Amino acid sequence: MRNAIKAVSLVLSFVFSSCTAKEKPVVKEEFKERIKVKVKEGMEVATFAGGCFWCTEAVFLEIKGVEKVVSGYIGGKTINPTYKEICTGETGHAEAIQITFNPNEVAYEDLLEVFFGTHDPTTLNRQGADVGTQYRSEIFYHSEAQKTKAENYIQLLDKEKLYDKKIVTKVSSATIFYPAEDYHQNYYNQNSSQGYCQMVIAPKLEKLRKYYKSKLK
């Protein structure tokens, strides 16, 4: 796991294409109560923000035990935000994905491993050339168990010193998740020839398939 995360993270640190313009910094509104998400019996939900959701969605769609991945917005103060609105940097939302998964097929810890291995958790409000608070690294937990597992995993990464810089990933209680516009869903699979997909997403998927082969569908 150590070698996989470090190798993938080093490769992904060199990204030169952006999926949108830079944003102004915003102050995130804090919420204390988690939002309950209805899922089929036996299924669970995980919500991660790790840069452009086109990338994170493409990664987790390939993971065994993942039933569904929805791109959307979370952690802000505007009700029903649009993509255009979050790109102003004034709503406080993060681009995120909500993952419905079968815990009998893939553990939450496995999802955490893939999450940290396929984005840079040491850059504040930034992933490569994508800069702005909506590109922040944040885990939104749906239970105390998820909170504990996420915090313990970050402590493990820090202890093992897998990164040269401090991990800035926040662990926050899940708030209302707003699904993004339809054209954002399954973006890579429908736009794989697009420039950003070729330059940024395709290399991530290539490394995912190399280092996490046992976790793929």
* Cα distance between residue 176 and residue 55, in whole Å: 21
Q: Which of 19, 52, 55, 197 is catalytic?
A: 52
Catalogue the E-assigned strands of the chain.
44-50, 66-74, 94-101, 126-127, 130-131, 137-141, 170-173, 178-179
Dihedral angle sign, alpha carbons of residues 166, 55, 213, 103: positive
**Cβ neighbours of residue 186 under 8 Å, at least 6 residues apart?**
57, 61
Which residues have a Cβ under 8 Å from the Cβ of 105 and sit 6 or more positions away? Answer: 64, 65
Six-digit token string for 165: 């810089």
Spatial contact of 95 and 134, defined as CB atoms under 8 Å apart: yes
Catalytic: 52?
yes
> Computed over its alpha carbons, how large is the radius of gyration of the chain?
16
Q: Which two tokens stand for residue 47?
A: 């919500």
Q: Which residues contact 140 (CB under 8 A, 6 or more apart)?
A: 47, 48, 49, 74, 75, 96, 172, 173, 174, 175, 177
User: Tokens for 146?
Assistant: 């998820």
User: Which of the residues are catalytic?
Assistant: 52
